[in-house]
Amino acid sequence: MKRILGWAVVAVLASALAAPAVLAAAPKGKAPAAEQKKPGFGGQTKTRDRKIRGDATEVSLKQSIKDQKQIIELTDRKDPGYPLQVVALADFEWDLAEWYGLQAYSEAIEKPMYEAEQRGDKKAVEKYKKQQQSYLDKKQAYQDQTIATYKEVIHDFPTSKRLDEVRYFLAYNLTEMGRAAEGVDEYTALIGAHPSSPFVPDAIVNIGEYYFDNNDFANALRLYQQVDKFPDANIRGYAMYKQAWCQYNLGDHQLSLSQFIAVIKLAEERALAGAKQAIQLKREAQNDMVLPYSKVGRAEKAIDFLKQYAPERYLELAGKLALIYTEQNEFARSTKLLRDLIAEARKGAIAGQDKSYMVVTFQRQIVDNAIKSGDKGNTVTEIAELLRTWDEMHAAAPEAFQKEEQEEIKRLILEVAATYQKEWDGTKDPKTLEYTQRLYDEYLRVFGGDENAYQIAMNNALLLKATEKFDEAAAAFEKVIRMRPEGEYTDAAAEQAVLCYLKVVQIENKRVKTEAEDDLKPEDLSPDQQRFVSAIDRWMEIIAKKGPNPESQDNIGPARFAAAKVYYNANQFEESARRFVEFIAKHPSHRLVNDARRHVLSAYNLAHDVDNLVKYANEYDAIASLPEDLKSDIRKIRNELNFQECFKFQNKGEHLKAAQCFEQYARDFPNEDRAPAAIYNAGINYFEARKVKKALDAQLDLYARYRSNELAPKALYAMGEMFRQTTVYDEAVKVYETFVRNHRGHPLEEKALRYASIYRKTLGDYKEAIANLNTWLARFGNQPNAPAVHLDIIKILEKQEKWSQIVSAAGSHLKKYPDEPASVRLEVLARRGFAYDELGKHKEAHAAFEETVAYFAGLNEAQVQDLSMDAVSAVAHAHFNLGEEKLREARRIKLDSPSDKEMAKAITQKLTTLTNAKTVYEKVIAYHHPGWEIAAWTQLGAAYQDFASSVENATIPARIRHLPEVVDQWQQDMAERAKTIRDKAIEAYQQALDVAHRERWFNEYSEKAEAAIAQLDLTDKSVKEFRIRPDHLTPNGGAPAFHERAGASQ
């Protein structure tokens, strides 16, 4: 029976140890339970150093007992060794008790019992429990026997040797059996009876442990402190360690911290003396000192403090301290410390090892703080940072660390995401949902290949859909399908993808196209459209196999309709018609069925598939309930059959016959609605039949006679196209410009204006080109490419060499488009500089070039990656011009002074300026624009070459001119100096050519470099010989036009 010993026992002990001063202090009592902390480190006192052998059996142990009993029987009771033989018997009995204890919880019982429980086999469970209890009963019996034997020895042989040891293990075994209070009595008896026994310090500590375990830290402390009187006892360090714990639990945090430090110091001394346990004790004291530090230390000093007492482990301990702050709900303090730790860890070497990977753990702790502080936004941000840190650092970490941290991070993200998702289920707070989705997104980004990824990917897609990010959701569902094409979510994902696409792709049901208003050239589906129709087709396949899902079956019809409409919109009329027909067949009662019929007729009409047009017109005409507008369309189709017949020629490629057929129709039915279309088609077919004059005549006829018809603008535009295709660009632009003037707002207006601008510019009609671009800006200036269009104006002004106007236009441009793409801005900034240069305003040019370079320097990496080659060329050119300024400056320095001093000064000055130029050119080279790299190296070469010539041809100093031998020597010296400089020139030219060869980029500078090297270095092996130039161009160099047999084609 457990009992709490009172102050009286402690007093007895104290008196036995003659330490009244210590015991005079009043007890501080027990610390409140909630604050009590215990070490995970204990059991340091003396124990039985015998262990049951692994191969021991009940029989072998019983045999040992039997043997020992025989020995006792054979030993005279008065023999001084007799009591020890009895103790040995007790020890064998204790061994057997231990063995029974092990059997009671062995796998042989536990496993079948667990399995029986799992399968609900109560009978079997009962059987194993009985078996277990039988072992435990035997254990108890043998333990009791051991205790009885020990007591018997103590009682019967009070003067026996080693009685202190017998008493110690009697107490010890009683404690082990759960009879701690009796154990304390026996320890006390030991101390009283054997005060000088080596077992006394351990006995005191064990009594202290009893109080400690019962949260009586004041009494425990007093007992541990008694061990200070045994400075050489092995247990002393542990007793000190436990004192620190008592002080901590008693609220004496400062004392506790000091005590832990004292333990560390003692342990270090003992470890040096070879005590193995000391290393572990030191480690434990280091671990535990962070507890009192958390109470009395300053977070910002923690790293320095811990570095002092645990130089090899301070990062880990500081992390532990941060955890304690977290446990104490001091999240901000914890996070602050962790951020300091991250900075510390990133420094790299800690005690000779790179521990930078620990930033992952610290950042994970920051995440934990964020979670616990309840700030979702911050939590998600910190998780993103954690994953970024993981990406960055994990490869450098030990494998075990990586494994453990990865699991922790995954668990943490999934837990948070699951919590948020659950919360959202209840609150429907969109922000919570967004956070959840972001967490899934982040998880997939980093751990997209793990076993959870598939499930999470599906969850993520569903959440994206729930947050109405339909575009992203569709892509996410597609990803789920790609992850496991035959996976359990494939069908659901296929369906959900379509539902998302239906939200994204705006499908307008009713409008059908007309030849007059629309561009009917077949287009490829965009990647988005392609994905959309693929998703629908895939869903339809699933439905065909498994039947529709009742929850989403209403979407099947609209999905089929939408896919057909996508093809219709892309002018792929045959495919569109096939799909609309399928829609009608599968959804005859759908509300969109008449829209589908309208599209079938329109698609076959626009595809000029006369046979199908007639077929479906007849089929639909037979439907009694057909709406009047559709009936009217069908009547119109019937009336136009003569017109439609002409398409048969067209479809067979017989364009001349088709043109004549259309012309005939227009002549026969001049007042029919289709007459203008017939003329238009005649024109198109004449052109295809290479009868350009007739084609133009037809379109002009249409434009003149049916000016108010919707096809008239298209006819005019077609004339422009014909001129364009026959390279009569000057006429083409006039037509386009007429179109722009006469048909404002027409869908083809923008295209006509664009062509007109391009061709005017190409033809050198710069004034007109600029006028067109200005018109474009006035009419379409809100389009995103407006800054680029304005840049075009500046480029045209450049061709016209209107430098002042460029300066002005660039200035307006920079003000008007402050947020334009970086590529455009760089070009404008640079061009302003070029214009200033041309105007001789070199100061302004210099400023403009500097501004260009500075703007580039301010771009982030992504922006730089996105720059066009022209933009990179512009900034490199601007920077190159800055180098040219330096080069000019260097060239202006003449080496013509007759004074030695002046000459030396001039050489130094020239060299310095050249070095400056070189620095600038090197920056030009760093843009990696091959053209300007070559230019920079070549100019550098030229600069050195000039310099070498200047040195070689320098004016002979006046003081030596009259001394021919000295002049010879001087000239030789100068030639040698020139050679060194010339070598640099060769090197630079060679670099230029290396870039040219490597990048396959040749320009005037590479040619200059090649020519210069040929002059300077007769050993250079690059090609300098005469050879053909790439300028071969032979008129009529195309394959001759072989003639088909007359009448074989048109």
Partner 1 sequence: MTGFHTMFSTLGKLALATTLAAGALVAPAVAAAPFDQAMSIVSDPKALATRSGEAEQLFRQCLSGAPDNVEGWFNLGLLLERKGDLAGARDAYQKALGVKADYLPAQARIAGLDLAAGNTAALDKLEAIIKEDAFQAEARNILAEYALAQGDYAKAILHSRNVLVGDPRNVNASLNAAIAYYRQGLIDQAGLIATSALEKEPNAAALHNIMGLVYLSKDDTRSATEQFTAALDGDPNNMDALLNLAALELAYGNFESALKHFDQALKIRPRDAGVVLSRGVALRGLERFDEAQAAYEQALTLKPGFIDAEYNLCVLNHQFKSDWAQAKRWCSTYLGHIDAANPKYKEVQKRLKAAEATLKILQEKTGPGAGGGTAPAP
Residues numbered 703 to 722 that lie near partner 1 (CB under 8 A) are 703-704, 722
From 121, 423, 731, 851, residue interacting with partner 1 (rule: CB under 8 A): 731
Look at residues 195, 194, 274, 207 and name the one whose alpha carbon lies nearest to residue 234.
274
We find the least distance from the C-beta atom of residue 607 to partner 1, in angstroms, to be 23
Q: Is 860 in the site for partner 1 (CB under 8 A)?
A: no
902: tokens are 């002046």
How many Å apart are CA 512 and CA 46, to the nearest integer?
97
How many Å apart are CA 772 and CA 756, to the nearest integer?
7
Q: Are 776 and 754 in contact (CB under 8 A)?
A: yes
CA quadruple 256, 262, 267, 270: dihedral, nearest 10: -150
We find the least distance from the C-beta atom of residue 517 to partner 1, in angstroms, to be 21
Residues 6+ apart with CB under 8 A from 45: 202, 203, 205, 206, 209, 235, 238
Q: Which residues of 409-429 are buried (b: 16+ CB within 10 A; e: fewer)?
A: bbebbbebbebbbebbeeeee
How many Å apart are CA 1014 and CA 980, to the nearest integer?
18
Which of the stretches 81-89, 262-270, 780-788, 1016-1024 binds partner 1 when contact is defined by CB under 8 A? 1016-1024
Q: Is 693 in the site for partner 1 (CB under 8 A)?
A: yes
String marking each residue 83-122 x if it binds partner 1 according to CB under 8 A: ----------------------------------------
Q: Is 1043 in the site for partner 1 (CB under 8 A)?
A: yes
Angstrom CA distances, 103 to 53, 139, 178, stand at 14, 10, 19
We find the least distance from the C-beta atom of residue 643 to partner 1, in angstroms, to be 25
String marking each residue 312-341 x if it binds partner 1 according to CB under 8 A: ------------------------------
The DSSP element (H or E) to which 349 belongs, if any, is: strand 349-350
Q: Are 1009 and 1020 in contact (CB under 8 A)?
A: no
Q: Is 691 in the site for partner 1 (CB under 8 A)?
A: yes
Angstrom CA distances, 545 to 534, 542, 582, stand at 17, 5, 17
We find the least distance from the C-beta atom of residue 685 to partner 1, in angstroms, to be 14
We find the least distance from the C-beta atom of residue 603 to partner 1, in angstroms, to be 27
We find the least distance from the C-beta atom of residue 721 to partner 1, in angstroms, to be 10
We find the least distance from the C-beta atom of residue 660 to partner 1, in angstroms, to be 12
We find the least distance from the C-beta atom of residue 887 to partner 1, in angstroms, to be 21
Q: Is 1036 in the site for partner 1 (CB under 8 A)?
A: yes
Size of the site for partner 1 (CB under 8 A): 73
From 234, 726, 868, 897, residue interacting with partner 1 (rule: CB under 8 A): 726
Of 65 and 995, CB closest to partner 1: 995
Can you say whether residue 256 is alpha, beta or left, with left for phi > 0 and alpha for psi between -120 and 50 degrees?
Answer: alpha
Restricted to residues 927-946, the positions that interact with partner 1 (CB under 8 A) are 931
Using CA of residue 388, residue 393, residue 394, residue 395, what is the dihedral sign? positive
We find the least distance from the C-beta atom of residue 939 to partner 1, in angstroms, to be 16
Which of the stretches 431-439, 479-487, 700-708, 788-796 binds partner 1 when contact is defined by CB under 8 A? 700-708
Q: Is 727 in the site for partner 1 (CB under 8 A)?
A: yes
How many Å apart are CA 910 and CA 194, to the nearest integer?
99
Which of the stretches 201-209, 291-299, 634-642, 1034-1042 binds partner 1 when contact is defined by CB under 8 A? 1034-1042
From 60, 725, 972, 980, residue interacting with partner 1 (rule: CB under 8 A): 725
Look at residues 221, 196, 231, 199 and name the one whose alpha carbon lies nearest to residue 17.
196
We find the least distance from the C-beta atom of residue 312 to partner 1, in angstroms, to be 58
Q: Is 426 in the site for partner 1 (CB under 8 A)?
A: no
In this structure, the number of other CB atoms found within 10 A of the CB of residue 665 comes to 24
Restricted to residues 182-201, the positions that interact with partner 1 (CB under 8 A) are none
Q: Is 741 in the site for partner 1 (CB under 8 A)?
A: yes
Of 16 and 758, CB closest to partner 1: 758
How many Å apart are CA 111 and CA 98, to the nearest integer?
20
We find the least distance from the C-beta atom of residue 993 to partner 1, in angstroms, to be 9
From 419, 664, 738, 774, residue interacting with partner 1 (rule: CB under 8 A): 738
- Helix 712-725, helix 749-763: angle, nearest 10: 30
Q: Is 1032 in the site for partner 1 (CB under 8 A)?
A: yes
Burial of 346 (0-12, 13-18, 19+ CB in 10 A): middle
Restricted to residues 344-383, the positions that interact with partner 1 (CB under 8 A) are none
Q: Is 1018 in the site for partner 1 (CB under 8 A)?
A: yes
How many Å apart are CA 780 and CA 757, to the nearest integer?
14
Restricted to residues 659-688, the positions that interact with partner 1 (CB under 8 A) are 687
Q: Is 1026 in the site for partner 1 (CB under 8 A)?
A: yes
Restricted to residues 259-278, the positions that interact with partner 1 (CB under 8 A) are none
62: tokens are 């019983």
CA angle 25, 241, 20 (to 5 degrees): 25
Which of the stretches 18-26, 495-503, 660-668, 1036-1044 binds partner 1 when contact is defined by CB under 8 A? 1036-1044
Q: Are 663 and 698 in contact (CB under 8 A)?
A: yes
Q: Is 1023 in the site for partner 1 (CB under 8 A)?
A: yes
How many Å apart are CA 39 and CA 44, to the nearest integer?
12
Which of the stretches 91-99, 826-834, 968-976, 1017-1025 binds partner 1 when contact is defined by CB under 8 A? 1017-1025
How many Å apart are CA 882 and CA 936, to the nearest integer?
11
Look at residues 93, 84, 65 and name the one whose alpha carbon lies nearest to residue 157.
84
Q: Is 396 in the site for partner 1 (CB under 8 A)?
A: no
String marking each residue 981-1000 x if it binds partner 1 according to CB under 8 A: ---------------xx-xx
Q: Is 764 in the site for partner 1 (CB under 8 A)?
A: yes
Q: Name residue 354's beta-bridge partners.
A: 349
We find the least distance from the C-beta atom of residue 839 to partner 1, in angstroms, to be 25
Instruction: Calculate the CA 883 to chain-centre distance.
Output: 40
The DSSP element (H or E) to which 757 belongs, if any, is: helix 749-763
We find the least distance from the C-beta atom of residue 796 to partner 1, in angstroms, to be 11
Of 741 and 959, CB closest to partner 1: 741
411: tokens are 């668990």
Q: Are 65 and 89 in contact (CB under 8 A)?
A: yes
String marking each residue 955-974 x if it binds partner 1 according to CB under 8 A: --------------------
DSSP 1029-1043: -S----TT-SPP-PP
8: tokens are 């009286």
We find the least distance from the C-beta atom of residue 688 to partner 1, in angstroms, to be 9
Residue with tokens 């259309």: 662
We find the least distance from the C-beta atom of residue 563 to partner 1, in angstroms, to be 31
563: tokens are 């896919």
Q: Is 148 in the site for partner 1 (CB under 8 A)?
A: no
From 135, 245, 489, 759, residue interacting with partner 1 (rule: CB under 8 A): 759
Which of the stretches 234-242, 507-515, 642-650, 695-703 binds partner 1 when contact is defined by CB under 8 A? 695-703
Q: Is 510 in the site for partner 1 (CB under 8 A)?
A: no
Q: Is 521 in the site for partner 1 (CB under 8 A)?
A: no
360: tokens are 């992952």
Q: Is 1045 in the site for partner 1 (CB under 8 A)?
A: yes
From 33, 34, 395, 1041, residue interacting with partner 1 (rule: CB under 8 A): 1041
DSSP 118-133: HHT-HHHHHHHHHHHH
Look at residues 1012, 896, 1033 and name the one whose alpha carbon lies nearest to residue 954.
896
Restricted to residues 806-845, the positions that interact with partner 1 (CB under 8 A) are none
From 396, 728, 864, 967, residue interacting with partner 1 (rule: CB under 8 A): 728
